[in-house]
Amino acid sequence: MRGKEVFRYPHPTNEVTARLVAGMVALLGGGILVFDLPGLLPLLVFGFAARVVAGPTFSPMAQLARRVLLPALGNPHRPTAGPPKRFAQGIGLVVSGSAMISWLALGQVAVGRGLLGVLVLFATLEAALGFCAGCVVFRRLMRWGWIPQETCERCNNLTFPARNPA
């Protein structure tokens, strides 16, 4: 992999991989909540940061999904647009980072737990039902013209052929 490719989010990306990663996020986040393990929050934040910056390249969860779980499932592939998934990872980074700062740095345990609970809820929806809330927000931003036209065209050509964001 060349330098520029390392820091590229895949487009299209595999919906199955995204759902597997979301399942791992839900499990880790749920474990942090249930077993009161806020020291694991930096791992969650790192995973989101890694996926935002470089897609699956440096994300342990994405690598586990791609190299172990996906082959175990017979390598299913459902292409979906990469930019909305990257946007959703960015939202996950903000929420998990806010949970970590609230809980660990500011001592606002209830706020941190609440933010993490919201993250776990939406990660579970993605994993179990394929509902990506960040992708819904991204599509709305496309329609409002807040997403650059070239990004809209790439997404529209892959996953939203009948929609016109303008």
Domain boundaries defined on the chain: 3-131
Q: Would the pLDDT of 2 be above 60?
A: no
For residue 62, pLDDT over 90 is answered with: yes
How confident is the prediction for the chain on average, in pLDDT? 90
Q: Which two tokens stand for residue 59?
A: 């994300």
Span 26-61, pLDDT tens digits: 999 999 999 999 999 999 999 999 999 999 999 999
Among candidates 33, 146, 25, 19, which has minimal Cα distance to 93?
Answer: 25
Percent of the chain with pLDDT over 70: 89
Closest listed residue to residue 56, CA positions, set 13, 93, 120? 13
Name the residue among 66, 62, 43 with its Cα closest to residue 54. 62
Residue pLDDT, tens place only, 98-140: 999 999 999 999 999 999 999 999 999 999 999 999 999 999 9
